[in-house]
């Protein structure tokens, strides 16, 4: 079995860095995943026979697809909401960097459905505060969901971001689902860290790390005090068993009581 944690570099290499491949390393994730770093004035163009998602992490860019051209800016992934371009197979895109540098994550997977391209901006993706009023506020976090069966039923991705307040938990109580998932991390400040539970194991995660979550493994997260923890999460849908709120996730029964109204927790 391949390692579940891929340690990232302090500085990501210029250009496109492959992290997972449908037909290569970490093929069990059923998707391509990589990180693109561009410098001022540089452009990246591709046209794939796959459903594709391009998430702006930071920088000023111009997205071009079909007959559309839109400029987007994001200071960082903690304080600003996301810009995300979602396109069907065989769509040519171009991304041009208009700042000193920029970072974009790229995600690709198979999809036989026909659907329209869409660029999502911060106004399309509200911040959702989860966990408030429960667990003595130890699990309060910010969630930004862009793609799921409710928002984009034609997509084979479930996609979003989570921000852990320093010292707090997310993806808690421990839960599972049968679909594979990838987490990609940032910390603020950049020398911070957190912990990823992976079943009965625990990984210490840093800036630019990736965790590959196999089906039916629990995966709660916690940020070290003093450090905010952001992670991008992406799930590959199953046609026969899609990830949807009415069915998933499955919370572990022995810990599910903590999120129930009126749960008494020692202070």
Instruction: Please indicate, yes or no, if residue 264 is contained in any of the structural domains.
Output: no
Q: Is 29 helix (H, G, I), strand (E, B) or coil?
A: helix
Say what the pTM is.
Answer: 0.96
CA distances to 154, 210, 249 from 216, rounded to whole Å, are 24, 18, 10
Is 115 contained in some domain? yes
9, part of any domain: yes
- Over residues 163-185, the pLDDT tens digits come to 999 999 999 999 999 999 999 99
Neighbours of 73 (CB within 10 A): 14
Report the domain count for the chain. 1
- At residue 3, the pLDDT reads 85
Question: Where residue 154 sits, what CATH number does that domain have?
Answer: 2.60.120.10
Per the CB < 8 A criterion, the answer to whether 83 and 142 are in contact is no
Q: Which of 102, 118, 105, 17 lies closest to 54 in space, CA to CA?
A: 105
| DSSP assignments along 74-138, one per residue | ES-TTTS--EEEEE-TTEEEEEEE-SSEEEEEEEEE--------EEE-GGGS--EEESTTSGGGT
The pLDDT assigned to 1 comes to: 45
Residue 4 CA to residue 165 CA, distance in Å, equals 25
Cα separation, 108 vs 115, whole angstroms: 15
pLDDT tens digit sequence for 137-157: 999 999 999 999 999 999 999
Which residue stretches of the chain have pLDDT < 50?
1
Contact 215, 179 (CB under 8 A): yes
Q: Are 162 and 239 in contact (CB under 8 A)?
A: no
Domain with 152 in it = 5-259
- Spatial distance between the Cα atoms of 131 and 47, rounded to a whole number of angstroms: 40
Helix-strand-coil percent breakdown of the chain, rounded to 5?
A: 5, 50, 45
Residue 2's pLDDT is 61
In a domain, 120, yes or no: yes
Q: Which of 162, 166, 165, 133 is nearest to 258 (CA)?
A: 133
pLDDT at 222: 98
């Amino acid at each position: 079995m391949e390692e579940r944690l891929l340690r990232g570099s302090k500085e990501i290499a210029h250009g496109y860095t492959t992290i997972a491949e449908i037909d290569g390393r970490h093929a069990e994730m059923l998707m391509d995943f990589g990180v693109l770093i561009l410098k001022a004035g540089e452009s990246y163009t591709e046209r794939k026979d796959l459903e594709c998602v391009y998430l702006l992490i930071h920088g000023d860019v111009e997205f071009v697809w079909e007959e559309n051209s839109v400029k987007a800016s994001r200071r960082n992934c903690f304080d600003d909401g996301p810009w995300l371009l979602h396109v069907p197979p065989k769509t040519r895109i171009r991304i041009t960097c208009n700042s000193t540098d920029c970072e974009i994550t790229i995600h690709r997977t198979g999809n036989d459905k026909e659907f329209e391209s869409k660029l999502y901006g911060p106004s399309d993706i509200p911040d959702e505060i989860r966990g408030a009023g429960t667990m003595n506020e130890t699990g309060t976090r910010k969630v930004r969901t862009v793609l799921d069966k409710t928002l984009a039923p034609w997509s084979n991705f479930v996609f979003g971001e989570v921000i852990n307040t320093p010292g707090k938990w997310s993806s808690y109580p421990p839960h599972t689902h049968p679909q594979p998932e990838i987490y990609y991390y940032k910390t603020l400040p950049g020398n911070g860290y957190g912990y990823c539970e992976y079943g009965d194991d625990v990984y210490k995660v840093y800036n630019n790390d990736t965790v590959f979550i196999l089906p039916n493994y629990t995966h709660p997260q916690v940020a070290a005090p003093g450090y905010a923890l952001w992670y991008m999460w992406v799930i590959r849908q199953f046609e026969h068993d899609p990830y949807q709120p009415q069915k998933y996730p499955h919370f572990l029964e022995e810990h599910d009581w903590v999120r129930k109204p009126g749960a008494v927790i020692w202070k």
